[in-house]
Amino acid sequence: MLAITNKKHTNGLDYLDIETDLCKARIFLQGAQIDYFQPKGKPPLLWVSSADDYQPGNGIRGGIPICWPWFGMHPNPDFPQHGIARTRIWTLASIEMRAQQLELRFELALDEQDKRFWPHDSRVSVLFSLGDSLSVSLNNHNTGNRPISLTQALHSYFPIGDIHQLRASGFSGAKYIEFGAGPYPQEDDTVTFERETDRVYTDLGEVQWLHTPNGTIEVAREHSHSAVLWNPWIAKSQRLSRFNPDDYLGMVCLEAANVLDDGLTLAPGESHSLITHIRWWESH
């Protein structure tokens, strides 16, 4: 079966409700943001805070916000954090079924307001491939005659059951910056959580795993040597917008990225795709 239905959230945001033989999913046009993905017979693979009210103009606190064309704070403090893509309305450009994989491609047309922040000739699109796993590809193309530089991330939130029982593995050999300090070498393959964690990894292998009480989530990347590992813990959870004080117990972010020395500079005519692949490696 294949069912794709246009729907509107009670607060006004338009989204696609999707069901195939292999999965259910929901993708909002604002931000081209997927906030729900569940393979048939398995638990959901994405987490969203119950405190988020899906208000237009706010990125959804969960799922996979698209941070583009910069990650984090811009050098200009008047520019929005994490770029402009997650609060703009994207256009559904194509739908295609390949074997049992449903592919949906969205494009972002920049208006005059956007060009104040990003005055470059470029195209950006995102391709979702939905099956028994989820793949997201953020695609950039420099259409101008000058090089352009950017950073970006697929800010993926995962449901992990209990942060105290979470083990994240696949990190050995990398280095990381945390709270502006570092880089530190990652000596152990496994990371556990006992405090606020906000690590930007570089020189990172292409696959990591989140070992949770409900099973193990595999998070793989292509064309990316950097990733962000984040849990706000107790004090920051109380300051975050659209986030419950105890939400830190049930979520973690592990984000495919092109940041720090892994940031992009695209020559005229050059393209790049940041890709993440997410699946239940095993589920209980």
pTM beyond 0.95: the answer is yes
What pLDDT is attached to residue 282? Answer: 79
Which among 133, 160, 139 has a CA at the least distance from the CA of 25?
A: 133
Q: Is 141 a catalytic residue?
A: no
61 is in an annotated binding site: yes
Report the DSSP pairing between strands 33-39 and 264-266: unpaired
In the set 82, 225, 255, 277, the catalytic residue is 255
CB-CB contact of 238 with 247 (8 Å): no
Q: Per the structure block, which two tokens stand in for 108?
A: 């972002």
What pLDDT is attached to residue 227? Answer: 98
What is d(CA 244, CA 8) in angstroms, rounded to the nearest whole number? 24
What pLDDT is attached to residue 38? Answer: 98
| Cα 55 → chain centroid | 19
What is d(CA 61, CA 76) in angstroms, rounded to the nearest whole number? 24
- The average confidence (pLDDT) of the chain is 96
- Look up tokens 């849990």; give the residue: 231
Q: What is the pLDDT of residues 45-96, one digit of tens each?
A: 999 999 999 999 999 999 999 999 999 989 898 899 999 999 999 999 999 9
Q: Domain limits of the chain? A: 2-283
Residues of the chain under the 70 pLDDT cut = 284
What pLDDT is attached to residue 1? Answer: 85
In the set 82, 155, 225, 277, the catalytic residue is 155
Fold observed for domain 2-283: Beta-galactosidase; Chain A, domain 5 (2.70.98)
What pLDDT is attached to residue 99? Answer: 87
Q: Is 155 a catalytic residue?
A: yes
Q: Per the structure block, which two tokens stand in for 32?
A: 């081209």
Percent of the chain with pLDDT over 90: 93
What pLDDT is attached to residue 284? Answer: 63
What pLDDT is attached to residue 60? Answer: 96
